[in-house]
Amino acid sequence: MTTITRFAPSPTGRLHVGNIRTALHNWMLARKNFGKFLLRIDDTDAERSKEEYVDAIRADLAWLGIEPDGEERQSLRLDRYEAAFEKLKAAGHVYPAYETAQELELKRKIQLGRGKPPIYDRAALKLTDEDRAAKEAEGISPHWRFKLDHEEIIDWEDGVRGPQKFDAAQLSDPVIRRADGSWLYMLPSAVDDIEMGITDVLRGEDHVSNTAVQKQMFDALHAVGLDHDTCPVHDACPHFAHEALLVGREGKLSKRLGSLGCDAFRERGIEPDAIIALLARLGTSLPVEPIRDRQELLNSFDLETFGRAPAKFDDTELDRINTAMVHQMDYSEVKDRLPEGMGEDAWHAIRPNLETVGGAQDYWKIVTGPIELPEFSDEDREYLAQAAQVLDFSGDDPWHALTGALKEKTGRKGKALFLPLRQALTGQNSGPDMGELLPVLGEDVARRRLERAAG
């Protein structure tokens, strides 16, 4: 059976690092097994869903190189959920309930106060037809719950967490439809997974209890024949895997997620490959390394390497990976992002000093000038005057020719030999290798700067 995974964001905001990690791992799981990766826009919440976020999700995935093999939108599939709902209703798998949110919260507090789990008491099932008619005559529309089989022990072999077991009697019947007729997450997701032939669901561990509920929902949907007409090759529950959630160095990321999206990463100069390299292995037993070859990452991708402990996202580690990535990038990859006039020799000269490609702008100013000079001693000014005289670009390595001649002429060595030259030529105390940078400056610019520094 072809592996088919999906990433199902709600377009109620921008993607953040947690969403990106989920999308990436589902993409990798599909690609590793030569399968398909689907993007499913979960936009049943018409009030909160915005088209601008749909566009942003597509754009962010494209920027990261996470390419879906197809796209579906739940807002275009409402008839499918209605049909499934009616089948479940006819088979007695769903039932109406009339409690208000306040009544449910009071019940919850009473149960917790008695030391009991806050499980819905199924009071709605005790209502007679006359009771329900009276409620609706009062203008109270029902919400709808999926009726769990409380006799079942729900179990599955989780791809990350191993054997999982839930007593259905310890779970609340989930609300699947609001009183206004709109859908909650559970049923549309299960219908889509069946009809789209999803074979593997990889998501965060906060969905584990949802999976227990949805497994019974899958069984009920299969029993009423949902998959027989729409997906004859897929007649079983998907394989489920739940990975540990991301945390920061100081704990949960929730307060910072807004600043950990693609826009923020782009603004910081983070390369897509750096994000991919970090998130591909974050939370696994494999080392996080600046690997730009995605096939290499795919070859090592294995759910068995995923750990149960929270995965720690660290900005400094991302910066480290990004810096290493930049140092690997060829001129052909970055030339369209470099300052005007900056050529391949200049890129190779400054690349080892960069943390981001955007940082090339600051180093290019060293070449184009003007530069600000420090105060030189009389002795150093005399030394720099000599440097201007012996500067020679006739050979292949003018820097070492210059320092060699000055060492022999003045007896200087080490810092006294090199630092005044760097300061006069660049205005900096440190920076790119002067052997590569001096040819980029050129003979005329270099001589003028040395003469200026000499006074």
Residue 53 near residue 12, CB atoms below 8 Å: yes
As a whole number of angstroms, the distance between CA 200 and CA 26 comes to: 8
Bind-site residues for ATP:
255
Residues with Cβ within 8 Å of residue 138, at least 6 apart in sequence: none
DSSP-based three-state secondary structure for 443? helix
Question: Strand 311-312's sheet: what is its strand order?
Answer: 251-252, 246-248, 311-312
As a whole number of angstroms, the distance between CA 137 and CA 133 comes to: 6
Longest dimension (CA), the chain: 109
Buried b (16+ CB within 10 A) or exposed e, 94-111: bbbbbbeeeebeebeeee
Bind-site residues:
255
Residue 213 near residue 185, CB atoms below 8 Å: no
Q: Shortest CA distance to 58 belongs to which of 17, 5, 12, 15?
A: 15
Q: Shortest CA distance to 262 belongs to which of 6, 19, 10, 7?
A: 19
Residue 373 near residue 427, CB atoms below 8 Å: yes
